[in-house]
Amino acid sequence: DDIIHNRLLNDERVIRRLTRKFHAYSTKARPTPYASSSSILGDLRDAFLSELAQYQVFLRKTTLQCQAEQRQVLAYQQERDRIANLHARNREDIATLKQELEKAQIGRKQKIEYDEVAAKINGLPTRGELEK
């Protein structure tokens, strides 16, 4: 995993190109019996420094990408935790509402029974009618 991660972070083509430029510059920079042109040496040095600057930009960009990914992971975990908490709260609300519904259903059933008993009682003759 570490090897794969490092290969993803470090583009090997950039490193190879950088080493080629450095090698070309260092071989021309060595003193030789026959002097090489200073303009060629300057061009090689400038090319190497340019490649080095590009590589530094690449490393900064990679660092910023890693930091952004870490922020995304943190945001994802926070969102997942928020959703889990919301889910738990909703489960509790559902359980409470079920209990309230059961109580309301029992109360309604008792009211219907009371209305039935009251209707039967109202259907009976009054005491006055019974005494006559």
Question: What's this model's pTM, rounded to 2 decimal places?
Answer: 0.53
pLDDT of residue 87: 98
Q: Where are the domains of the chain?
A: 2-102
Long-range CB pairs of 52-60, under 8 A, 24+ apart, other chains included: 52/18, 54/14, 55/14, 55/15, 55/18, 58/11, 58/14
pLDDT of residue 96: 98
pLDDT of residue 49: 85
Residue found by looking up tokens 């300057």 in the block: 42
Residue-by-residue pLDDT tens, the chain, 132 positions: 677 666 666 667 777 777 887 777 777 766 655 555 667 777 877 887 888 888 888 888 888 888 998 999 999 999 999 999 999 999 999 999 999 999 999 999 999 999 999 999 999 888 888 887
What are the φ and ψ backbone dihedral angles of 38, each rounded to 5 degrees? Answer: -70, -25
Cα angle vertex 38, ends 34, 40, to 5°? 95
